[in-house]
Amino acid sequence: MVRTDARHADLAIRTRGLTRDFGALRAVDHVDLAVPRSRIYGFLGPNGSGKSTTIRMLCGLLTPTEGEATVLGHAIPAEAEALRRKVGYMTQKFSLYEDLTVRENLDFMAEVYALPRATKRERVDALCERYELTRLLDQRAGTMSGGQKQRLALGAALLHEPELLFLDEPTSAVDPENRRAFWESLFDLVEAGTTILVSTHYMDEAGRCHELAILDQGRLAAAGSPEALSRDIDAQVVVLRTDRPRRAGKALHAEPWVLSVAQIGNELRVLAASEHDDAAVAVADTVRRAGFGVERCDPAPASLEDVFVAATLPTRQERVA
């Protein structure tokens, strides 16, 4: 069992070696996490990277194959039942009843959480006002827009006032305006003391988190604040403007010290090995030798997308193999 002591009292989640196998498939591979309270902690990774499986283990919905986890002071999975009253969970897919109205869905979830009648009415009214659902109370959930369904699902997950909220890619089906409003509501929750763990594959959303864990093929590839991850990237970033960006990119791809090349408009964003001397000079020389002009070639600060690409690229040994 993971012991909770003074050093870890300010953590909402702590795991050591958390692992989950599905037959021969290892979905989560010895993941260590330390999630502070009253923060938004992001899981960034592509589909199949282990984000949802990790969340389900932390909720007590899946039993780990190996490893240990403490969530809000409860050892998981042994104390999963005691934890359930303290957490909310919002899935990627809308999971409420589409043939029920907003009011009926919220009343049903209040019954699931065994809220007293007076408390239920007070919280339903407050959440409907907060998430602009009051005028939709008698509308069937199946007829609502993506943004309205998102607000309803969030309200339902918050009915019992959880200390910890798990959000599994909650904005995948909504437009940019609703995504922005949704994230503003998350910061309101954090200000009130809620801890939020949110999985996403959107770089702009990942940049809003206080801290991040980048998952790749079930492994923890990198962790830290967005600022620290960008500062400590294990690569050099070079921005190149050339007269033939597609052909220049192919020439750069052939160099063993080039990790990645991406075209953004008329420019190429090049990730070079961190140990390579003066990557900007090397990029310009490579492009000129290939017969293309160089209008600009400068080092650049790393974006979160650069960090993600560098963290999830195959190792040099794997590329050679």
- Does the pLDDT of residue 321 top 70, yes or no? no
135 and 195 assigned to the same domain: yes
pTM (two decimals)? 0.88
Out of 229, 249, 266, a domain closes at: 229
Residues 50 and 199 in one domain: yes
| Residues 269/306, Cβ–Cβ less than 8 Å | yes
Residue whose C-alpha is closest to residue 148's, from 166, 128, 168, 124: 128
> Looking at the domain assignment, is residue 316 inside a domain?
no
- Average pLDDT on 5-18 reads 79
Instruction: Please give the average per-residue pLDDT across 55-76, as a whole number.
Output: 95
- Tell me the pLDDT tens digit for each residue of 137-159: 999 999 999 889 989 999 999 99
- Mean pLDDT of the 213-229 span: 95
Does the residue 222 lie in any domain?
yes
Examine the domain organization and report whether 43 and 175 are in the same domain: yes
What's the pLDDT tens digit per position in 275-313?
Answer: 888 999 999 999 999 999 999 999 999 999 999 999 998
Q: Considering the domain boundaries, does residue 211 fall inside one?
A: yes
Whether residue 103 is found in the same domain as residue 147: yes
Q: What is the CATH number of the domain that holds 178?
A: 3.40.50.300
Number of structural domains found in the chain = 2
Residue 187 near residue 194 (C-beta atoms within 8 A): no
- Contact present, 199 and 41 (Cβ < 8 Å): no
Whether residues 206 and 275 share a domain: the answer is no
Instruction: Tell whether 93 and 209 lie within a shared domain.
Output: yes
Q: Is residue 283 part of a domain?
A: yes
Tell which of 166, 197, 229 closes a domain: 229
Name 186's Cβ contacts closer than 8 Å, sequence gap at least 6. 40, 167, 196, 198
Give the pLDDT confidence of 70-127 residue by residue, as tens digits. Answer: 999 999 999 999 998 899 999 888 888 999 999 999 999 999 989 998 899 999 999 9
Q: Say what the pLDDT of residue 8 is.
A: 52
Same domain, residue pair 264 and 213: no
pLDDT in tens, 24-49: 999 999 999 999 999 999 999 888 89
Are residues 128 and 154 in contact, defined by beta-carbon separation less than 8 angstroms?
no
244 and 207 inside one domain: no
Same domain, 88 and 190: yes
Chain centroid to Cα 278, Å, comes to: 33
Residue 145 and residue 124 share a domain: yes
User: Domain range holding 126?
Assistant: 36-59+81-229
